[in-house]
Structure formats: C-alpha cells, structure tokens
Amino acid sequence: MIDNLKRINLILTLRKLGVTNHNVLSILEKIPREEFIDKDLNYKAYQNKALPIDCNQTISQPAVVAKMTELLEPKQNSNVLEIGTGSGYQTAILSKLFKRIYTIERHNLLLEKAKKVLNKLKITNIVFYHGDGLEGWPAKFAFDRIIITAVSNSLPKKIIEQLSDNGILVLPLIRGGEQYISKVVKKNKKLIIEKSWRVRFVPLVSGIN
Ligand code: SAH
C-alpha cells in the first residue's frame, strides 16, 4: 500500500516536470525500480533521484528515464539500440514499448546483474552484449531508435552510422560545459539536434571492463 502511494507520487512528480506520454508514465508506474538497486537503498526506489549501482555507476533519475523514453517516440514495431545497460532499469522500460532491445554495457558485472533482474521480471525481448558501445552493435544493423545513457562531448561516429534515415537518437551531450538531454533526428543523412533538459550523467568511456 505504502509502496503504491510512493509510485503514484512519483508519477505525479514526473507529470509536473513535463512528461506527458501516458504509455511511458504507466510503464514507469509498473516496473519495480527497487529490483534494480541494492536492498539497503530500497526505501529510495520511488524518489526522483539517481542512485549508486556497482562499478561506480548510477541508475538514472526516473524523470530522466521517462523524458528520454518519451523523446525516443516509442513504436511497438521498432528495435532499439541502447548503450549503457547499467542496472537494466531503462532497458526494462524500453522493453515494454518496443519490439526488441539490443543493449551494450562495458562492465561485465553490471551486464550480468541486469540480465538476472530482467530474467526474474520475465522480460525476454532483450539481446545483451558485453562491449564498447562506441563501436556500435557488432553486426551490420541499422536502428530506428538509439539511446545512449552516458554523456559525451560529441556524437559518436559509429553509432550515428547505425541510425536509420528518419531515425531518432536520444543522449546526453555536453554543450558549453553543461549536459543536456539531446534528441538527434537523421533526415536525408543530415542531423537535426534539439536540446532538452539539463542533466548529470556518468561519462561515456571507451574500452571494456
Ligand atoms: N540506463 C542505466 C544508466 C547507467 S549509467 C540505468 O538507469 O541503470 C551509464 C552506463 O553506461 C554505465 O553502466 C556505464 O558503464 C555505461 N557505459 C559507459 N560508457 C560505455 C560504453 N562505451 N559502452 C557501453 N556502456 C558504457
């Protein structure tokens, strides 16, 4: 009961902050965020806060997860490439809105943990890969939708190459020393970039661990 109230409160907060997509909001209400964090942080699971996970990384703030998902313009028949599996929380949200999620994480420990949780939640439309997301998906694929959940100074070239024409990439980008969620649309091979919320993310790092 108390947990339900906390979840509803979180959804109200997200609405107030300007998340409007009903599907996205109702999925955030349903996915148990406590499963993706340490037990001793469970009391914070429905606060609109980023929280620490293993390997010095963070599970993103629910509002940021919701906003980035909304900007991706969910389409049930599309596949998504996700760079930065982390806890797997964003992956779980995406799994309910898209056909299949191809997710890459550079820390094997995080990837293995995320696999376990998603398996426990009976989420099966995910393809996991332990690797460097900066190299893109390790097969010649094109994706309609790509999400990167770690921050960089510039648009990673190999990832842009894997974005289809009319595709959407959502990522945090550094502009003038600040990080902004950014939506990149590819139109006739040109990139149109729109800035959204100011945020704080862990960096996109090359190589694997
Ligand atoms: N969406 C995740 C966010 C995790 S934080 C969540 O809500 O839990 C960002 C993640 O990106 C970290 O797990 C980090 O290890 C990963 N990451 C950073 N650079 C990467 C790269 N080049 N390839 C793959 N994963 C990367």
pTM confidence score: 0.97
Query: How many angstroms is it from 204 CA to the middle of ligand 1?
Result: 7
132 CA closest ligand 1 atom index: 23
The pair of structure tokens assigned to 156 is 């990673």
Q: Which of 193, 194, 197 is nearest to 160 (CA)?
A: 193
Q: Is 2 helix (H, G, I), strand (E, B) or coil?
A: helix
Strand ranges across the sheet with 100-105? 126-130, 100-105, 79-83, 143-148, 163-175, 178-187, 190-199
The pair of structure tokens assigned to 47 is 């606060």
State the pLDDT at residue 4. Answer: 87
Q: How many residues does the chain have?
A: 209
Q: Which residue ranges have their beta carbon within 6 Å of ligand 1? A: 57-60, 83-84, 86-87, 89-90, 104-107, 110, 132-134, 149-150, 202, 204-206
Instruction: Select from 149, 151, 159, 162 the residue to mutate for testing ligand 1; criterion: most ligand atoms less than 8 Å from CB.
Output: 149
Q: Is 191 helix (H, G, I), strand (E, B) or coil?
A: strand
CA distance linking residue 50 with residue 117, whole number of Å: 18
State the pLDDT at residue 175. Answer: 95
Any bridge partners for residue 83, and if so which? 104, 148
36 CA closest ligand 1 atom index: 8
Per-residue pLDDT tens listing for the chain (209 residues): 577 899 999 999 999 999 999 999 999 999 999 999 999 999 999 999 999 999 999 999 999 999 999 999 999 999 999 999 999 999 999 999 999 999 999 999 999 999 999 999 999 999 999 999 999 999 989 999 999 999 999 999 999 999 999 999 999 999 999 999 999 999 998 999 999 999 999 999 999 99
State the pLDDT at residue 1. Answer: 56
Query: How many angstroms is it from 1 CA to the middle of ligand 1?
Result: 33
Cα–Cα distances (Å) from 111 to 18, 27, 119, 126, 196, in that order, read 31, 22, 12, 12, 28
- The catalytically annotated residue of 26, 60, 78, 95 is 60
Amino acid at 45: A
154 is known as an active-site residue? no
203 burial type by CB count under 10 A (0-12 exposed, 13-18 middle, 19+ buried): exposed
Q: Is 66 helix (H, G, I), strand (E, B) or coil?
A: helix
Query: How many angstroms is it from 134 CA to the middle of ligand 1?
Result: 11
State the pLDDT at residue 76. Answer: 95
Query: How many angstroms is it from 85 CA to the middle of ligand 1?
Result: 5
176 burial type by CB count under 10 A (0-12 exposed, 13-18 middle, 19+ buried): exposed
By alpha-carbon position, which residue is closest to atom 17 of ligand 1? Answer: 84
Return the domain boundaries, the chain.
Answer: 2-199
The pair of structure tokens assigned to 179 is 């990080």
Domain 2-199 has CATH 3.40.50.150: yes
